[in-house]
Structure formats: structure tokens, C-alpha cells
Amino acid sequence: MDLFDKCHQFVDAKEAIAAGLYPYFHELQSGQDTEVTMSNKDNVLMIGSNNYLGLTSHPRVKQAAIDAVEKYGSGCSGSRFLNGTLDLHVTLENEIARFMKKEACLLFSAGFITNLGIISAITSRGDYILCDRANHASIYDGCRLSFAKLVKYDHNDMEDLERHLDKIGKDSSKLIITDGVFSMEGDLANLPEIVKLAKKYNARIMVDDAHGIGVLGENGRGTAEYYGLEDDIDLIMGTFSKSFASLGGFMVGPELACHFVKHFSRPLIFTASMTPASAASAFAALEIIKAEPQRRRHLLEISDYFRKGLKDLGFTVMDGITPVIPVFVGDMEKTFIACKLLFDNGVYVNPVVAPAVSVDETMIRTSLTATHTFEQMDHALEIFALVGHQLDLI
């Protein structure tokens, strides 16, 4: 058997391309914005981006990146552990820790690497990880890098979580890991109940709040702030590639935990550090997040408006408050066709199909930006209505 046999046997993507239904790797000929040029098509309404606060095109954010390149150059040429720590990194860590109201912060080069780096360092053989089945792939890969025992509990099912905790017992070392905002469904973790169970069974809690920070909470500190439980969450992971309009990730928590991860995280030690431009643009975005809460308020208002509009049209849409709004289809081929028809009519969305979800739970994932207008949402709803009738989705 040849190693490349699997490559020869993989024909699904090529068949989709031949059928004109391939929805991935569209080329952008413009920056991320509410309207983009994509695959040589102008004025495409972008409702499939994680640019939640609309800061990727903000002049202050772009200028910060330019200034950082002028001062530090294009890269750091090494890991944080050795020659790759800039004063800019340390300043950003201090400001993120202060913003998140935690003792310390540690930067990573990407959000995916952040979860790999935290989980594989903080848990080890003899520990238990209790992981929501709907958690992000990076969490699961971090669990695989750890030698801890992985226990999956049903999505947001607190009875199932308690059943596993009770079986493990109070005396074992354990970490409950959950997304704060689940990236595909857009729903929130049941943090109040998770906190109660963690206290009852002597467990630590880690929240991946990549889709919550900048969006939820009075000050934008995310899901824990939204629930008023910031002091009860041990570790919070965040990313700079969404609300912060940059690239990279971070963990915040107790100083001793960040110090430990800093010295034992292979993904941190053996990866080059965040580029100067990424760190500077994230810092500028943080300042805007703190200074302009109206962005967050408008984002939630427009998300509620669009979610209600989809429901009024007759689409099956999950209840929620976040700008991640999935439209359930339940058929893979129909999902691909819907995404193509939407794009042909000038609206870009994300298909969510197996293996990300089961084959009968496929969906169209929409995600909104604070700089979207109500007029743009009305236009998107008109196109959704057109496609929905064509495919008998409504």
C-alpha cells in the first residue's frame, strides 16, 4: 500500500468543484469588510466573517501595524522563549491581563496554538479533562497532545457532566473545558451550572472565549463577564483573529498558572512569536474595544434584528444573542447549493457540514459585524427569502 493512496481516493472536493458547488477557498481581492470583492465578484455582502467589531479596516489598527513594522521589522525570528520577546509583547500581556481582570496573561502566535499550548502543558498523565462535545477542534487537539484522560460530555448537558464528575470523584485532578460561545451554533455555555459543579466536585474551569471576548459583557470581557462569573473561571483563552482584528491568541489566569505554561508549553516554546504588526494591531484594537462600547451594542442589536428576520421568513434558527446565527438545513448537498445560490446573488455565508456536524444537522453559518447596517441586513434577508423558496427551506 502506498502512502498516497488516501490522496488518490479523496475525490469529494474535486467532484464538488466539477459540479460548481465547491464553497471553500474563495479568493478575496479586497480587505475584510461588510462588503468585499471575492472571486472577482464585487460588492459581495460579507456575513460569514469573524470580524465582529469591524476593526480589520480601522485606520488606527492599520496604522499601528505599519508603525510596528517600521520600528521592529516584519518578524521576530525566534520564539518567545528565546530571542522573540518584544517589549511590545510584554506591554500587550500586561494590558490584556488588566482588561480581563486576571493576574497574568501569556501570548501565543495563533488561537489554535493557544489551546494546544495551554491544555497540553497544564494537564498531564493522571489528570482528567471534561470536554463539551461541541468544543472547538483546537481544544480536542490540545487534549490529544496531553496525556490526561479525556472525558466528553453531551453538549451543554449539565446532568451528563455531573454524571462524569461523580464517577471520577472529588479527589482526582480535573479540568472542565468549554467554549464560552460555541463557534458553529452561536449558543452560550451554561457557565452558572458549570461553576456550581466545579465547586461541588473540586474541578478547575477553562473557557475558550474566542467568540465571546469583545462581544459579550458590559465591558466586552466575554461570557464570564456576561454571567457575572469572572472570579469563578480559572483560565480564559482568547484569540486576536476575531474582535481584535489581528492574529494570535492569549491565556489569562493566575500568575502561577501562566508562569508554569510559559515554561512547559511546547507549542509556545517551539513556535516563533507573534509578529510586531500582529501585536501592535491587537493592542490598538483593545484600546478601541475599551473606548467604543457602542460597537458592541450595535452588533448585538443588529444580530437580534437579523435573527428575528430569518425566523419571520420561516427558517429554522437557533435562539441566541450572539452574532453567530446558524440557519439549519439538514442536508449536505442542499447546504452547498444554498451557499452557492446565496453567493451568486451577492451574499457570502459559511457552509457547516460533516464532520463538523452530523449529516442531518448541516447548516448555513452566518456571522455579523458591528459595521453592518440595518439596510444591509434587509438586503440579506431578501436574498435568503429568494433562496429559501427556491430550495423549499421556508
> Which residues are marked as active site?
183, 211, 242
C-beta separation of 250 from 238 below 8 A = yes
Q: CA 325 to CA 380: how far, in whole Å? A: 13
Distances 388 to 253, 327, 340 between C-alpha atoms, Å: 45, 11, 12
321, 319, 78: which is closest to 180 by C-alpha? 321
Joined together, the cell numbers standing for residue 32 give 475584510
C-beta separation of 64 from 281 below 8 A = yes
Query: Quick check: helix, strand or coil at residue 377?
Result: helix
Q: Rounded to the nearest 5 degrees, what angle is found at the Cα of 112, between the Cα atoms of 80 and 189?
A: 125
Joined together, the cell numbers standing for residue 67 give 508603525
Residues 6+ apart with CB under 8 A from 236: 100, 102, 180, 206, 207, 209, 213, 222, 224, 251, 252, 253
Q: CA 370 to CA 56: how far, in whole Å? A: 11
Amino acid identity of residue 98, one-letter, is R
Q: How far is CA 235 from the centre of its chain?
A: 16
Does the bond joining 355 to the residue before it have cis omega, within 30 degrees of 0? yes
Total residue length of the chain: 394
